[in-house]
Each structure stands twice: as structure tokens, then as C-alpha cells.
Amino acid sequence: MIEPMNYTAAAIAVIFSAACSYYDLFNRRNIPEKLLWAFLVAAVGASFILNGTDALANGAMQAAIIAVIGYLSYRAGQMGLADVFVLASIAILIPAVNLSADWGYAAVTFSVPAVLLVFFASVISFSYIMAAYYFAKIALGYGARRGHAAGIKQGKKTVFALGAIGIFALAYLFCAALLGIGAYRSAVAATFPALMFFFALFMPEIKESMVEQVAVGKLELEDVIAVEKMDQKAVQKYGIGRLIDSKNLIAIKKAGLKAVPVYTGMPPFLPFMLLGLLIVILFNGYIAAAFLPQF
């Protein structure tokens, strides 16, 4: 049986995550390496003192898995290295969280890795907030270009998306009523598939809004290149990858490129990770009841 969450360790995780989120928001997504290493070292020391050796070993094993998967995602340009550090540190500080749900006819209690719930809650909150942001941005862009061919096409997609989202929600709520699924689970389950549909429909516009041509001399390490928008012959010939590192910079210069498309508008993720952490700490008693089937 996993011991209950140590809230002192959880508070340390929140403080460091908040500091990393601050730099992610206000320092152009550049988080000082010293802060990330301090978080990791503090996590190991605090977990040893507050959680004990067994919990530390459990958290360290999770952190090792996160490090491997996270590094591969980082090299593919899908995740920032800071995100990997923060997730690994959270796993060490809060190895597990106890979940329970009582529906009257059945009660369940079990433990799961807290970092999985943190990541899940982060993705959920990120999806909702980003969907609202980009929907407003796309709608405003349509209004600004009303009457133009591109604006009319975008307007049709917007109307289609609204109709499809409404159908998703009504269909799920109807099924939920038939199956007797709790309404507060229905709200999440009814809207999240619609959000995924929205992102799938408008992904070209969303990606386009994030890309900016950057002069080769102004490229920074860990910038993510939109290689799909480059000449594919040059990309394959010189082995240009998505993530800017010393090897990739040399390849870009060999290709004779003056500027490359870079995802400069990618939204910061660490503030959402902080939000996910707070959700897990404050509302872990409701998570199972909210997301497990209630037949």
C-alpha cells in the first residue's frame, strides 16, 4: 500500500514548478539550467527525507522512464527538455497518489503514479485553453478577411466545426443519459473528443500561425524548425532535423540557407503542467469518480 501524499514534498514541487513556469512565460521559454538541476537535486533530497527510501526508489524509477521517453521526444522536437526535468522531479517528489471513488453500489481505492495524472491533467487543460484561444484567433482572422476567398473558406470551416462540435456534445449527452453516466463525467467526455476534432480540422491554420522565418544567424539552440515547410530535397540531402543543435546548424549553413521557418509561436507548456500539478494535489479525491465509468 502506497503511503498518502506528503504535502510538504508536494509544496516543494509546486514552488519549483511555479518558478520554472515564470521563466517559461516571461523569458521566451528559456528556463535556466541551474533552476532545473536545483529542482531535480531538491526533489531527490526532499524525497529521501520526507518519503523514505522505498518511495524515492519508486520515484527514481519513474523519473528514469520519463528521462528516456522525454529525451526521445525532445530530439524529435515534440517536447522541451525543461518539461522532461520538471516531470521527472515531480515523479521523484510525489511517486504516487491514492485515488478512491464511492458510487454507493461500489467503492474502489488504488494508487497510481502521480506524474501520469499531472501530465494527463496538463494535456486536458492545455487542450481546452488553447482551443478557445485559437478558435477566437481563427474567427477574428475570418472577420478581418471577410469577402476574400481565404476568409470565406475559413468561415465555412468555422461554421462546420461549430456544427460538428455541437453534434458531438449532444450525441454523447444522449448516450450518457441512456447509460446513466454521471453528468460531471459527461461534461469532460462530451467536449474532449470535440476539441480533438477541432484541432484536427484547424491544425494547418494553427501551425501556420506559429511559424516565422528566422535568419540563420539568429537561430538559438533548441529552436524547433518547421522542416515540412522547407525544400525537402535540401532537408534530405543535408540531413536537417527539427531540433536546432550544433550538428543541425552546420547542416543548415552547408545548405546555404539564409533563413529557415521556426516554430517561434509555440505556446509554453510548463504553466499548464503547474495547473495539472495543482489539480492532482487539491482534487485527487475526485479524479477517479470524475473519469471512471459509472455503470
253 pLDDT above the threshold of 60? yes
pLDDT at 202: 79
What CA–CA distance (Å, rounded) separates 44 from 89? Answer: 8
Most confidently predicted of 11-25, 176-190, 272-286: 11-25
Residue 215, domain member (yes or no): no
Residues 31, 96, single domain; the answer is yes
pLDDT at residue 145, as a whole number: 47
Is 179 within the bounds of a domain?
Answer: yes
Q: Which helix (H) or strand (E) holds 227?
A: none
3-state secondary structure of 110: strand
Question: Is 43 in contact with 13 (CB distance < 8 Å)?
Answer: yes
- Residue 102: in which H helix or E strand, if any? strand 97-102
- Of 163, 178, 209, which closes a domain? 209
Q: What is the pLDDT of residue 221?
A: 80
Instruction: Please check whether residue 217 lies inside any domain of the structure.
Output: no
Which residue has cell 531535480? Answer: 40
Residues in the chain: 295
pLDDT at 148: 46
Are 146 and 158 in a shared domain?
yes
**Which of 74-83, 156-165, 220-229, 238-247 is the least confident region?**
156-165
Q: How is residue 19 written as a grid cell?
A: 518558478
The answer to whether residues 140 and 193 belong to one domain is yes
What is residue 112's predicted lDDT score, i.e. its pLDDT?
87
pLDDT one-digit tens code per residue, 110-120: 788 999 999 98
- Do 57 and 104 belong to one domain? yes
168 shares its domain with 115: no
Above pLDDT 70, what percent of the chain? 75
What are the E-state strand segments in 136-252? 211-215
Assigned domain for 148 exists: yes
The pTM for the full model equals 0.79
* Ordered DSSP codes for 66-114: HHHHHHHHHHTTSS-HHHHHHHHHHHHH---EEEEEE-SS-EEEEEE-H
Residue 148 and residue 158: Cα distance in Å, rounded?
A: 15
pLDDT at 30 over 50: yes
Residues 198 and 272 both lie in one domain? no
pLDDT, one tens digit per residue, over 133-188 is 877 776 666 444 444 445 445 555 555 555 555 665 566 555 555 555 555 454 56
47 and 139 in a single domain? The answer is no
- Is 145 found in the same domain as 91? no
C-beta of residue 288 within 8 angstroms of C-beta of residue 35: no
Query: Containing H/E element for 262?
Result: strand 259-263
Domain interval for residue 188: 128-209
Range 28-47 average pLDDT:
93
Taking CA 34 as the corner, what is the angle to CA 12 and CA 52, rounded to the nearest 5 degrees? 35
Are 99 and 177 within one domain?
A: no
Q: With cut-offs at 50, 70 and 90, classify the pLDDT of residue 243.
A: confident
Question: Residue 47 and residue 91: Cα distance in Å, rounded?
Answer: 10
- Residue 272 confidence (pLDDT): 93
- Tens of pLDDT, residue by residue over 80-101, are 899 999 999 999 999 998 877 6
Question: Identity (one letter) of the amino acid at 225?
Answer: I
The structural domain count of the chain equals: 3
**Same-domain status, 258 and 271:** no
CA dist 225 to 73, 229, 236, 253, 266, Å? 14, 9, 14, 14, 11
Same domain as 110, residue 12 = yes
Mean pLDDT of the chain: 80
One domain, residues 153 and 236: no
- Report if residue 18 sits inside a domain: yes
Residue 214 belongs to a domain: no
In a domain, 104, yes or no: yes
The three cell numbers of residue 70 are 522525454
User: Is residue 201 in some structural domain?
Assistant: yes
Across the range 189-216, mean pLDDT stands at: 79
Cell (9 digits) for 20: 520554472
Q: Which of 20, 13, 63 is nearest to 42 (CA)?
A: 13
